[in-house]
Chain A
Amino acid sequence: MPLFDQLYNFAQWMTGDREEAEDLVQETYAKALKGFPSFRLGTNFRAWMYRILRNTFLTSRTGLKATMTVPLNPDEDGSALPVQPDTPETLLFERSNNEILQSAIDELPIHFREVLLLCEVEEMSYQEISETLSVPIGTVMSRLSRARRTLRERLRPRVSTEAAASAMAKETNHGL
């Protein structure tokens, strides 16, 4: 089954629920088989499959609810924040704390989460992401930029708190 594991991973990130993810993947394959005559060989098969999954999700009850969140302002790109030393990135890398990062990704608005996962996990090009989401490449770039900025802002207080707690614990241990 082509792309099965990857589609499942993406589906569960979108739905947040194992059963719903299974239903979503099941429906995706059913639609892909049914709609295969409309797929043009030589075009991007992966983007086509992900587009089916995403569109199926967006029309589901969970998907409709998830998209009724903070409205996107496509014209607002914002400037990139400079990365400070001792940033969430450095601390995360040093501590490899998956849970903090997974929780932060989970809490991202759906439009930011999906574009980030397609870029960083599925390693799609901007063109592929554009085809999957049916939006212009400029919109992909804008959403990615904002998704990354939002993720950094959400990580900063969590990673700093954990680092401070860890430092205190170390001091206490040394004192014992």
Chain B
Amino acid sequence: MVCKSWKEKLDIYLDGELPDDEMRTFDAHVRTCPSCSADALSRVQMKRAIHISGTRYMPGPEFRRRMQLQIASKPKRSMALEWMFAAVAALVVVAGVLTMGYVENRSTRKHTFSEIADLHVATLASSSPVDVVSTDRHTVKPWFQGKIPFAFNLPELQNTEFTLLGGRVTYLDQTPGAHLIYDVGKHHISVFVFQERSLPARLDKDRVSPKQLTFNMETWSEGGLRYFVIGDTSAANIDSLAKLFKAAS
């Protein structure tokens, strides 16, 4: 397929709506095509901007109170009908809360993963992706002191295929964290570290390559910190680096 054909499906790909096999083919193409990759980045930025701008209106406290009263009040009916109405209303609320809780958390989780992917892409596209440039973990780790509200360990990389390039402070939903960049072969991998309690979504303890991401990713929680390892390299490389971090924690 020439790039024109790819680009016609780019929005569907970024919406995560392509069938699995097409998604994989598309993944492989975007990673190797600078034009489609740049186009994808622009569109992701637009999606993100629309999401932020579109969450614009909030109901006022007075209206919220009125609605709560309206739902709580009930017209005069026979006792049997009153019980039925109460049961139906309760069922609506329970079904709604469960669904909303599931949908909201799933939506928030998906949003968190998308944000991580955006941070990875945007930093790599930047002219200065790291603020502390060093391959030495003994230089990078102390650089974060005083800049983020926690400390974490970096793994020893001798005799591994990974190279540390450096790090920077980053933010996820206004929560400060650490962003480290590693090289493996010709691929860059980002490692993000945040305080678990500050994150908006309930994330699984271990989750590998959530659907609808264009990268491989692994995330886990250890000692009150949430780690994300993400990159366009193989899942095996992501897992290897994740294991090094887990061993160092």
Contact = CB atoms under 8 A, between A and B. Distances in A.
Interface string B37-50: 01100110111111
Contacts of A125: 17
Interface in B192-239: none
Contacts of B97: 2
B80 interface: no
A12 B7 CA distance: 33
Q: Range of interface residues on chain A?
A: 35 or more
- The A interface, classified by DSSP as helix, strand, loop or mixed, is helix
B67 A82 contact: no
Given A2-B99, A85-B38, A105-B53, A29 B45 contact: no
A24 to B, nearest CB: 11
A41 interface: yes
A121 B59 contact: no
Contacts of A92: 45-46, 49
Contacts, number: 136
Interface string A1-35: 11111001100110000100110011001101100
Interface stretch (A64-72, A141-149, A167-175): A141-149
Q: Which 7 A-B pairs have the closest CB atoms?
A: A2-B96, A121-B54, A12-B57, A93-B45, A89-B42, A120-B50, A89-B46
Interface of A: 1-5, 8-9, 12-13, 18, 21-22, 25-26, 29-30, 32-33, 36-37, 41, 45-46, 49, 79-80, 82-83, 85, 87-90, 92-93, 96, 98, 101-102, 105, 116-117, 119-121, 123, 125-126, 141, 144-145, 148, 151-152
